[in-house]
Amino acid sequence: MAFGKLFSAIHSSNQKGNSPVLRKMEEFWRIFCEESSCSKRGGKHCSYDFELLKDPSTCINHLMIICLNVLLLILLLFTVILKSSTKTFHVSSQVRRFSNLQVASAIVSGCLGLVHLCLGIWILEEKLKKNHSVFPLHWWILELSQGITWLCVGLTVSLKLRELSKPWSRIVSIFFVLISGIFCFISIFSVIGGREVSLKIALDALSFPGAILLFTWSYKGGTYDERNINESLYAPLNGESTDDIDKTSSANYVTPFAKAGFFSKMSFWWLNPLMKMGKEKAIREEDIPQLQEEDRAETCYLLFLDQMNRQKQKEPSSQPSVFWTIVMCHWKDIFISGFFALLKVLTISAGPLLLNSFILVAEGKESLKYEGYILAITLFFTKILESLSQRQWYFRSRLIGLRVRSLLTAAVYKKQLRLSNASRLMHSGGEIMNYVTVDAYRIGEFPFWFHQTWTTSVQLCIALVILFHAVGLATIASLVVIVLTVLCNTPLAKLQHRFQTKLMVAQDERLKASSEALVNMKVLKLYAWETHFKNTIESLRKVELKCLTSVQLRKAYNVFLFWSSPVLVSAATFGACYFLKVPLHANNVFTFVATLRLVQDPIRTIPDVIGVVIQAKVAFARIVKFLEAPELQSANVRKKSSNGIFNGYIHINAADFSWEDNDSKPTLRNINLDVKPGQKVAICGEVGSGKSTLLAAILEEVPKTHGTIEVHGKFAYVSQTAWIQTGTIRENILFGSAMYSQRYQETLERSSLVKDLELFPFGDLTEIGERGVNLSGGQKQRIQLARALYQNADIYLLDDPFSAVDAHTATNLFNEYVMEALGEKTVMLVTHQVDFLPAFDSILLMCDGEILESASYQSLLYSSQDFQNLVNAHKETAGSERLPDVTSSHIHVNPTKEISKSYSEKQIKDKKGDQLIKQEEREIGDTGLKPYLQYLNQNKGYLYFCAASLMHLSFVIGQVLQNTWMAANVDNPHVSTLKLIVVYLLIGVVSTFLLLVRSLSMVALGIQSSKSLFSQLLSSLFRAPMSFYDSTPLGRILSRVSSDLSIVDLDVPFSLMFAVGATINCYTNLAVLAVVTWQVLFVSVPMVYIAIRLQRYYFASAKELMRLNGTTKSYVANHLAESVAGAMTIRAFEEEDRFFVKNLDLIDFNASPFFHNFAANEWLIQRLETVSAFVLVSAALCMVVLPPGTFSSGFIGMAISYGLSLNASLVFSIQNQCTIANYIISVERLNQYMYIPSEAPEVIEGNRPPVNWPVVGKVEINNLQIRYRPDSPLVLRGISCTFEGGHKIGVVGRTGSGKSTLIGALFRLVEPAGGKIIVDGIDICTIGLHDLRSRFGVIPQDPTLFDGTVRYNMDPLSQHSDQEIWEVLGKCQLREAVQEKEGGLDSSVVEAGSNWSMGQRQLFCLGRALLRRSLILVLDEATASIDNATDLILQKTIRSEFADCTVVTVAHRIPTVMDCTKVLSISDGMLVEYDEPMTLMKREGSLFGQLVKEYWSHLQSAESC
């Protein structure tokens, strides 16, 4: 009070003196406070009465608050300047989650600041409107200063606390609490004193709790433990620490969604850290967190199985419905998402009712004093609630779809591991791939659309009630049109279902053919059949495109029907109004228009809903059919003895087995077998006698139709065709077992792999390509043998593993692997090599599915004529004349070892090079319009696109003109009702025809672009060099030609149009709003800017997430493809569970980016909807605040009707933009494989060889150097030799020496790095590849058959008659086998020829060579899988049929090359020797001589036994 008296004294003295200071003070108070405002206090100058500080409505109170606010802002500025730079660096390099307290503090501060700012602006506007002056200043400056202070201080301390100096930030928060506390108590006391509660008093009272919250955070947050950052979602972003993160720990953290609170889930706040990370750097696979437990594939699949078992227990007699089981698994989530869907429908339906009230208020018919403000606030909260409910509906529906997709993918994978042979014939590998990549994806999309099926109906019913309220009985006309629309759609939907089914079948056929061609690309190139197979796939694609056109046209008609239905509804209703004499006024017309605008988006999605339902139904039927297919009937024949005594025991009694599960035609008949633990049993017999089938029967792979089988112990199985997984050599050998160094090293030594690993750049950590493409045949088999040995099983089933290795390696393997390493194990070995038979305890001689004899070698030799014939055939194959004595006691392996040692030392330098299998390529960052232009540039697609866009723009302009006409003239007495309605309808009808043109243009765009993209992709893949297939897993290619292509075919064209159309609609709504109420531009322009910024912020993360979704999908596809190929091996080792777990992990790995991608979609839309709600409420407030009469009621109705649909159109726009941005990634992925560097031209027109080339068959190889990749070492190093025309050349060498690479060079599968090959005077590098390969004959190392008939496999190009084919089949020893089949030449060959034995497949390949009759024939291990008797006949056939031809034979069987003119010996990529066989054998130190010596040692041991 003393200070008050002093100030009064000064004031009185100044008054007496009338000083200049007093005059200036008077002027200031007059401007700031307006003196008249204190007249009620008896003329006493309020500005100098300190007692008035207690009154929160006085000017001096306001001035003091303004000064304190300025002081606080200066203090904050000082604090920011003094912030700790070291702390800032440390924290800024971390990505953090915001705590709940921090979020609450920021929200309270922000809300208080915004309310103060809005109040200040409103006070200023009121003063301008009433007084046309801004004076007095104190009220609005007070509120603005309060708002700025709360926003600056509150948000800075809340969100940037860790970047501020601790002491100063606490001083600011304490000062803030004191100020807020003082004014809070002043306000409370004034209310107690009897003053009315004003908005300012309420805000002062609320400020104190807000300041307390801020103060609490400043203390709690300041002592925040930095270790919490480690629990945050993301790893450090700074480059130094990122490199140290182990990629394998990428998904050790779970998505924040798992622990998010209610607010965080509703607002998608939990996603902020990932969005921030996406903005700061490109998101990688390891940055994406794991799904929460309940969303993982394992949980979903187990829940599905549990529910299925419950259904079976309830109704044991019937098969449970897969569909209803899935529904029962997720009924709670479906119900919750349905609740949000209903809430959304109710909130959006409230819009037209609020519009009606707004128009009444605008016409001066308000029922409450502040009804306009109440309506505006109600409108805002209604739109926010609508946004929250729709976002939760969409998000939760997507999540259900993700779970369903995951469980179906898991179920399909599990099923294919148990699929019977008969079922496998019905469901090929390509079809199974389709079930996962296409069908499961389509079914996963269905839950998102499910609620649309009933919410649209509910929304229409509510709309009809509102319409009835607006236009009375005229609503009946609306109802009739809607019913007619639905009825017209019914036949279209049935047709679409039929064509969709046809499309899926056509897609299966095309994918099956594509898959087969891609898997066997090497064989196609060797035979020069690429063009034929490419044409076959293209013809299948034409059938598919025909079905696709039908589907898309039906969809276009649907789109036209439902997009035009609102126009037809309005036409019918207004027509009815005219005839029923229903009066048309602004309030009922625009209530009708607004209702129609709100339901038109759901109506327009009906075609999509119908399409998705049909696609899901077709896909679901296909998957259910697959899941219900017959499985392998495991009779639990495999038993394990508790004490291990019986482990290794096999007993079969009078058993019949049939691949086709047919009693009348058993594949194996009357099998009796008794194998004791530790016995070694050999199985031999001619081609197709049932040797491999017997092993399969023991493995429970072949259905038993009669008899009994009993097996004890654990199996290890080595298949005849090597099955190698993509991964390292070590992973293939360990096969899921733990690593024990000593055992592992011993396994490598026993499997003769040590030398090979020395040659590999990364040793046993070298990545193997898919199906072991970068390994030789022998290396693949030895890795299989190592895998089997490391498992330490009881029973070893070995299916002819030595056929792919040379004699020396075979001897080592037999002695060290079979006889020593497996000395105490039960071994059943299928073999054609008689050399090893004496060592076996028992030999099974098989013929035509029966065991003819079973005894020891000596017993069979004396008692069985068939066995004697087999041994004699072997001797005859080896050569009857004795070889000259070779003094080979001094022939060692040392020279070879020395070569390999020096070679490996050279390769050590390359150990830091790249692995063969690269990470899948994906685009990084924002590619802008590039993928869109790639899509539109196909077949002049941009013309169709421009036409469609122009048509849509014209349609939207037509709609605006319609509503403008109605708004301007609805209350115009000079325009008759008839004229009003007729003009309205004419504009609508013209607009409708534009829609039809738009839809048909999009179908044309889609078909033309799909056609062009596929054609380029196929050409690129078929022209790609073999190095591409060696380093690219098949799953990556298949995922592009299946799921990516399906998206491009079905989804991209209409999504592109909808995105453009919805964006035009959205901006039109905004434009109409801005034109009618231009004041809204002050809000809408910043809001549009914010929306664009938000969208860019979103796309930074979303694009990477979608790309990762594509690349991780390839992992699932690749793992599935490998598992389908190796199902028998997986089952034999009982590794189904491990592979299934890996599949579950890969499904989750793929699902996680998908989950975060659609969550990010909802994150964006929710924030944009909030923005659009602000724009709408701003427009509404403009109409309320501005004086009545400013706008006509018609234009108010038009503006609000467009404003109400702004939210929906914005959502539709952004949703479609996000959808097309996701879908266009598929175009991006296709484009990556459309420009693969191609091989040399197929034909060089200016340099074609003569028609009869080669004439002589002379091959000159000059200094030939081959490397597989530019950065890899040479594989062939300077080979020079000449093959004279008509000579028979044998190529020999150790396994992995480069024999098959030389053959590849002859066919230019690999282009020479140096040197040249000249054939009959023509350098083969100067002519086209087709001209080269089509002139050579070949029998490849891996015998390959294609899905089709025997005729097709012998002669795919249809160049020969049936008689010629039968003749060749006779020469190949296949005539009888084919004649036994019902169809003869038309009898079926299933995928990969799996219904024919390996030996028979090799005979088919020989038949192809005989049909082609080339002057140069290449045999690459051509008879490795054939028994000696058949081999003998075939060798005679080749000699007689190709007597005048140059024959190059790569062989491990030395007798095969003994009668060759010359022998070429290769070691480690170098030519060691090249001469006549006899000359080489006499030569001291000869590699060939050594190989012969090794081979003959087996024969001598066999004879001596």
Q: Contact 368/374 with Cβ under 8 angstroms?
A: yes
Cα–Cα distance for residue pair 552/959, rounded to 1 Å: 26
Q: How do strand 1288-1293 and strand 1446-1450 relate by DSSP bridges? A: parallel
- 842 strand-pairing partners: 681
**What average pLDDT does the structure give for the chain?**
78
pLDDT digits over 207-216, tens only? 777 777 766 7
Percent of the chain with pLDDT over 70: 78
Give this prediction's pTM.
Answer: 0.68
Cα–Cα distance for residue pair 471/569, rounded to 1 Å: 13
Q: Contact 109/150 with Cβ under 8 angstroms?
A: yes
Bigger pLDDT: 807 vs 1321: 1321
> What residues contact 1006, with CB distance under 8 A and at least 6 apart?
552, 1049, 1052, 1053, 1054
200-209, 1001-1010, 1266-1275, 1412-1421: least confidently modelled range:
200-209
158-167, 695-704, 1083-1092: least confidently modelled range:
158-167
Quickly tell me which residue has 């839309």 as its tokens: 1165
> What residues contact 393, with CB distance under 8 A and at least 6 apart?
337, 338, 340, 341, 344, 451
- Packing angle, helices 586-604 and 941-969, rounded to 10: 160
Q: What is the mean pLDDT of residues 57-70?
A: 73
367-376, 425-434, 815-824, 874-883: least confidently modelled range:
874-883
pLDDT digits over 849-885, tens only? 888 888 888 888 888 888 888 777 766 665 533 344 4
How far CA 1115 is from CA of 258, 301, 623, 1145, in Å, comes to: 25, 19, 21, 10
**CA 871 and chain centroid, separation:** 56
H/E element, 656: strand 650-657
pLDDT for the residue 401: 92
Bigger pLDDT: 1081 vs 909: 1081
Q: How confident is the model at residue 395 (pLDDT cuts 50, 70, 90)?
A: very high
pLDDT for the residue 796: 92
Q: How confident is the model at residue 917 (pLDDT cuts 50, 70, 90)?
A: low
pLDDT for the residue 827: 92
917-921, 1113-1117, 1412-1416: least confidently modelled range:
917-921
Quote the tokens at residue 1309.
């599968």
pLDDT digits over 1308-1328, tens only? 988 898 899 999 989 999 999
pLDDT digits over 501-520, tens only? 888 889 888 988 888 888 88
pLDDT digits over 1143-1186, tens only? 999 999 999 999 998 899 889 888 888 887 877 777 777 766 66
44-58, 394-408, 724-738, 1409-1423: least confidently modelled range:
44-58
Dihedral of CA atoms 351, 352, 355, 359 in degrees, nearest 10, equals -170
Bigger pLDDT: 284 vs 585: 284
Q: Contact 654/647 with Cβ under 8 angstroms?
A: no
Task: Report the SS3 class of residue 1475.
Answer: strand
pLDDT for the residue 752: 87
Quickly tell me which residue has 């236009």 as its tokens: 471
> What residues contact 1432, with CB distance under 8 A and at least 6 apart?
873, 876, 877
- 1319 strand-pairing partners: 1259, 1322
Q: Could you give the residue ranges of the DSSP H alpha helices within 1081-1125?
A: 1081-1125
Q: What is the mean pLDDT of residues 464-489?
A: 78
pLDDT for the residue 535: 92
Cα–Cα distance for residue pair 1424/1371, rounded to 1 Å: 18
How far CA 1386 is from CA of 446, 821, 1348, 1382, in Å, comes to: 42, 47, 8, 8
Q: What is the mean pLDDT of residues 943-956?
A: 90
pLDDT digits over 766-804, tens only? 888 666 767 777 888 889 999 999 998 889 999 888 877
Q: How confident is the model at residue 414 (pLDDT cuts 50, 70, 90)?
A: very high
What's phi and psi for 319, nearest 5 deg?
-80, 125
Q: What is the mean pLDDT of residues 372-386?
A: 82
Quote the tokens at residue 764.
């046993």
Percent of the chain with pLDDT over 90: 10
- Packing angle, helices 371-418 and 331-362, rounded to 10: 160
> What residues contact 952, with CB distance under 8 A and at least 6 apart?
994, 995, 998, 1057, 1060, 1061, 1064
pLDDT for the residue 237: 32
Q: How confident is the model at residue 1020 (pLDDT cuts 50, 70, 90)?
A: very high
pLDDT for the residue 538: 93
pLDDT digits over 525-573, tens only? 988 898 899 999 999 999 999 999 988 888 888 888 877 877 788 778 8
Q: Does residue 1373 register a pLDDT over 70?
A: yes
Pick from 997, 588, 965, 1196: nearest CA to 596: 588
Q: What is the mean pLDDT of residues 1478-1498?
A: 79
Q: Does residue 249 register a pLDDT over 50?
A: no
Cα angle, residue 1196 at apex, residues 1190 and 1201 outer, rounded to 5°: 165
- Packing angle, helices 1193-1232 and 586-604, rounded to 10: 10
Quote the tokens at residue 196.
């009315």
> What residues contact 436, with CB distance under 8 A and at least 6 apart?
409, 412, 413, 1116, 1117, 1120
Pick from 1018, 951, 1468, 1415: nearest CA to 1230: 1018
pLDDT for the residue 1423: 64
pLDDT digits over 180-202, tens only? 777 777 777 666 666 665 666 77
365-369, 591-595, 1092-1096, 1258-1262: least confidently modelled range:
365-369
Q: How confident is the model at residue 1016 (pLDDT cuts 50, 70, 90)?
A: very high
166-170, 294-298, 468-472: least confidently modelled range:
166-170
- Phi-psi group of 648: left, alpha or beta (phi > 0 → left; psi -120 to 50 → alpha; rest → beta): left
How far CA 1309 is from CA of 239, 1244, 1333, 1373, in Å, comes to: 42, 17, 10, 31
pLDDT for the residue 540: 93
Q: How confident is the model at residue 472 (pLDDT cuts 50, 70, 90)?
A: confident
Order across the sheet with 668-675: list the strands. 638-639, 704-712, 650-657, 668-675
Q: How do strand 1259-1266 and strand 850-855 relate by DSSP bridges? A: unpaired
> What residues contact 20, with CB distance under 8 A and at least 6 apart?
none
Quickly tell me which residue has 């090597």 as its tokens: 722
pLDDT digits over 1028-1056, tens only? 887 777 777 888 888 888 889 988 998 89
Task: Report the SS3 class of residue 1462.
Answer: strand
pLDDT for the residue 1090: 81
> What residues contact 894, with CB distance under 8 A and at least 6 apart?
none
191-195, 453-457, 1206-1210: least confidently modelled range:
191-195
467-481, 864-878, 941-955: least confidently modelled range:
864-878
Cα–Cα distance for residue pair 45/43, rounded to 1 Å: 6
Q: How confident is the model at residue 924 (pLDDT cuts 50, 70, 90)?
A: low
**Sign of the torsion formed by the C-alpha atoms of 933, 936, 937 and 940:** negative
**CA 1149 and chain centroid, separation:** 10
Q: Contact 135/184 with Cβ under 8 angstroms?
A: no
Q: Does residue 333 register a pLDDT over 80?
A: yes
Q: How confident is the model at residue 263 (pLDDT cuts 50, 70, 90)?
A: confident
Cα–Cα distance for residue pair 1455/883, rounded to 1 Å: 11
pLDDT for the residue 26: 60
Cα–Cα distance for residue pair 1265/1314, rounded to 1 Å: 5
Cα angle, residue 706 at apex, residues 700 and 707 outer, rounded to 5°: 80
Task: Report the SS3 class of residue 1347.
Answer: coil
Order across the sheet with 1259-1266: list the strands. 1276-1283, 1259-1266, 1314-1319, 1322-1323
Q: Does residue 1448 register a pLDDT over 70?
A: yes
pLDDT for the residue 444: 86
5-14, 296-305, 841-850, 1238-1247: least confidently modelled range:
5-14
pLDDT for the residue 1232: 86
What's phi and psi for 308, nearest 5 deg?
-65, -45
Q: Does residue 136 register a pLDDT over 60?
A: yes
Residues in the chain: 1505
